Every structure is written in structure tokens, then in C-alpha cells.
Structure 1
Amino acid sequence: MDPDDPVAQAWVAYTYGGDPQPLIDLGILPANERETPTHSRPTRILRMSTPDVHSLDPISLRKVWPHEAHDFTPWLAKHIDRLGATLNLRLEQVEREVHLPGAGRVDLTAKQAETGARVVIENQLELSDDSHCLGLLGYAANTEASILIWIAQDFTSYHKSILEWLNAADTIDVYAVAVRAYRVRDDIFVADFRTVVEPTSASSRTTKRTTSTLYAGFYGPLVDRLRREGIRPVGRGGYRGQYRSFQTGHSNAIYSTGFPDGRPTVYLELKEEASYTALVRHKEGLDLAENTVWREDKPWIELERDSSFDLYGSEEDADAVRQWLGDNILRFREVFQPLLDQILLVENGQ
């Protein structure tokens, strides 16, 4: 009998019980010594080889990766699939030492394969500290990232509470991941990732297509289109989740989009009542859709689509909604921008 023959291995499993295994490891007897197969387990004891079992000895992360930027970050970029497997995320298009406008340098960026959502990864090889936590908050506020991953040796209860608070807002997905290193032999090491904090919706889903990452995937093409048209998204303090905000060129007015009650809506939001009142004076004669609403409870002008949008629906529906939002943001700019420039420049004494 050929020890490498998988059919023979299967026969051994059926005859002697257990899973198919290489015959050489089971110590199969010569043909004249075998017992006739029966439905009960055989009385003869098989000669099993003793496996070579090694212990895992925890060691300092610095023993494996002496320098965070020069050693650990390149290793993680090369083995990003291991981190992704821990978080059930498919990560791709990994880049190292990326400068993000308004946020500074980050260790790694990537994209979630299923949604195209931007992922920002921050590393450290010690216990979580305030400096890295502050950096992570900066990435949350100032970038278009939808997923933040903070890797550290371990996390304090204080830092975990901050990340859990961020996840509760459902505008960005935040993961805290503890990394461990073990020595098997003198020249063999093992790395292990363990999830410490994850989005509240992540544990109940088989894929990490959470609400915030789905909105990020939806908004990506719309943001790109408006950029090409000269309308840039608001970075610091800009909306996330189901909303996005765009610059008007004035600090106290923005264009925005959102889905209140599931209905696609575009807005012009002003911060000052006086500016809004001045704009209302020009209301008559403006080329706007009939269902444009001039709010009385806040200095906003809004236009709502007549049908709702299912974030989990077809890509064809998503394209139609993106087209509608983009067309109407551009219409708002065409109608309101000259008035905004006139009113706000006068108010600012320019």
C-alpha cells in the first residue's frame, strides 16, 4: 500500500476510525497482521508517532521588530492579510507612510475590498498612549477614512472607552488590536493579533459591510465627481456616516447631503441667521425646484428626493441617487453661489 495514496488514507480512516491521515504517521501493520474491519473499533493499538510539540514563549515586541517604522510597519504591510483575517476584513491597496492633508502622516492606509472604504492603520509597539490616541482622533475628524485600526501591545481601559464611544456614534468603524509575539525556537517567532475593541455591529455580521463603510462606498464616486466640478468636501469637522458636507468658499456656509428618514436630500446650511435672512430676500425669482424648502426653524434650504433610498439595494439604484445628489448640489451652487459671495463678503467687510 502506497503511504501517500489519499484513497489508502481514506480506507485507513474508515477501518480504524478517525480522519484520513498519512499512513506513515499511523504506523500501519503489514497485510498479514491486519484485523478484519468491523463496525466496532479494533482492539489492536496503533503505533502512533509522538509529535514534536513546542511551547510558545512570550517575548517583547521589540525583540522581533526593534523599530516600529523600519521593522514592524513594513512587516505588517507585507502580511496585511493576517490582520484582515483577525478582523474579517479584506484589505488591499496597502500604502506605507502616507501623508493625509489635514491629518499628517499615517503608518499605513488601505482599502476595504468589498466597499472601497478607506482604512487608516496606526501602529505602536507599547501600551496604548495619549499621543497615539490623539492622532487617531485626528484621523477620525480630518480624513475621509471610514475604518480606523489602532494596533498596540495592549490598551488601557481609558483608551478603550474612547474607541467604544467613537463606535457608538456609527459614523466611523474603529478597531483596537493587540499584537503579541512568541518565540518557538531560537530563530522561529510567531505573531498573533487579538481584537480588543470593534464596531458594535461587527460581531453580528459575517462581513464587515457596516453602515458607515457602505456609506463611504456610496459617497466615494459622488465626492470624486464634485471635486472635478470644483466643489471640495469639508475636511476638519466635516460630516460622516450618512451625511457629507462640501465647501462654498465661505466658513459660515456649506452645501451638504444626507438621508433623513431614508430620503436623499441636499442642503445649503448657513451658520448665521442674518445671512439666511438676507438670502431669503432674494427668494423670489430663483430657479429652484418647486419642492425646495426654506426652513423656518433653522437657517437651511433643502431639497428632498421624492423616493427613498435603500443603502443595501442595487448598484443601479445607488448610481441614480448619486446622480440626483450631484446634479442638485451643482444646481444649488449655480443658483446660490453668486448670492453667497455677495452677502457674505459684504458681511465680512470685504
Structure 2
Amino acid sequence: MLGTLKKVDLRSIWKNEEYDFSRWLAKTENLQLLSDEIGIQLIPKDTEAAVGRYSVDLLAIEDGTDKIAVIENQLEITDHDHLGKLITYGAGLNATYLIWIVAEIRDEHLNAVEWINENTDGDLNFFLIKLELWQIDDSKPSPKFTTYSKPNDFAKNIKQSNSGEITGAKAKQLEFWMAFQEYINENKIMLKTQKPLPQHWTNISIGTSNAHCAFSLNTQSNEIVCELYIDNNKELFSWLYERKEEIEKELGFNLDWRELPEKKASRIIVKTKGTLENTSDYEKYFQWLIDNGIKFKKVFGKVIKNFG
């Protein structure tokens, strides 16, 4: 026997956007659902953060960066008021990501968001997300985020490249990360990367805000790197180093442990030889990064949960 799938009224679960839904979304496991949908790993920072006389529903940052995401929640059909507030909040906080979560979408607001995405560069990215609740028979309702408008990263990157803003090594780096993202998507690999950018690194969440996994390209030494990047937490590095033997045993290889006492960050590294000049080797590099990234996420993610 099969169950009956039915839609649940959002207000039956979250009666108030501020006190109910925003606080629910701010929990790490719930914000992860949104992160999975938009492909950007978000870390909750604050609910009802002040912007002048107004308050942002939810303020988040992109994991591994200082890029700000402003999230506006509207558990009803879109309107001018919420759109205007979201743009105002984004301007006041110099946000990189504007995320509008709604119950229903008017055509004029969908057109407005698409127009913004088509006419801005990579410094501003607007997501219009529809939220639904579904259940089977009497099961617990399950949230479903669906993206109706998002930034066209490929078009923006090509636009920047054609205007001369991306050249040389930066262009090669962007080409590599775009191909890497395509490889992950085509092979349905469960690894969430940040959007491709013209830089030598990209970040992977491991399920904690204490550290993240980073992939990088060293064109000077011709190396491909997978590392755990710990930002400004020497105590965590020392705690992990005490467990060095068991961590390396579970990973199956030795690591290069770099505390870097003169710097804020610490790094735990594994690397292999590789160059961006020969595109025929890209798939080999992709698989190496994926294999090690999945191991880092599994092992370090599990161990760090016991820290503190």
C-alpha cells in the first residue's frame, strides 16, 4: 500500500515568521537544507540583526569566507514591501547573497529578481526560494526548498572574462573550478562546493563552524592540495594533533601538520603533483580531490564534534 502525499499549510507549523520560522531556520541542521538547495554553505550568525531602524530575519555567512548572506522570510505571497526591505538590508550590510524565502511568487517579483541577477556582477547574488511543507498520510511534515531564480554564475564569469577582468592564471583557475563543479554534478557526488570563482582555492563544509576543508591549486609548485583549514583556533589544532595517530590511521595516509604559530590560521594538509596546463588530466585531479575531501569530511567532521 502506498501513502497519500499532501501539502501542509506553512502557518500551521510556523505561525510567526520572526519567532517561529526564523529561529527554526537558524538551527544548523535546518539551514543546511537551504545550503544544499542553493549550493552555498551557510553558517548562521544572528536572527533579527539590526540595520538602521529595521531588523534582518536571519543573517548568515558563507563558510570559510567573510561573505554575508541576508535572508528575508515571507510565509505568504511575495510583495513589494519585503523585496524592498531585503534590498535595503543587503545594501546596509554590504551583503554578497540576498535570499528571499516565500510561500508563493508573483510574476512581477520573479521578473524583478531575474533582472537583478542578469544586470549585476558576482559581488551580488539574489536567490528567490519557494518553501513548501509535505507529508505522507500522518507523517511529520517535511520542508522542501525550491529555487525559482538564482545568479547565473557561468554568464557572469564569462561576462567578466570578456570584459578583461579575468585573465591569465585567474582564468585558468576559474576554468578548473567550473569543470570541477560540472564533474561533481554529472556524477551526482555528495560533496557541496562553493560556486566557482577565479581564485586558487574553493571551500568544502565538514559540518562544523570550527574548521572547513579547502581544495587549492599551487601553480608555482605544481601541486593540488586538500587541507583542513582552522581559522584562529590554535586550541583546536593542538587538540587534533594529540589525536594525530588515530586520525591518520583512519584516513589511511600521513598528513602535513602546520600550526603556523606566527599566523591566526592553522592547516593540516595532504597534496599531490598536478598542473593546470594539461586539461586531459583534470578528471584525475577531480577524483583525487573528491576522494580526499570525502575522507576529510568524514574523519575530521566526526572528530571535531567532540571538541570542547
Q: Which has the larger radius of gyration?
A: 1
- Higher strand fraction (1 or 2): 2
Q: TM-score normalised to the size of structure 1?
A: 0.43
Q: Of the two structures, which has the highest relative contact order with CA contacts closer than 8 Å and spacing of 6 or more?
A: 2
Q: TM-score normalised to the size of structure 2?
A: 0.49
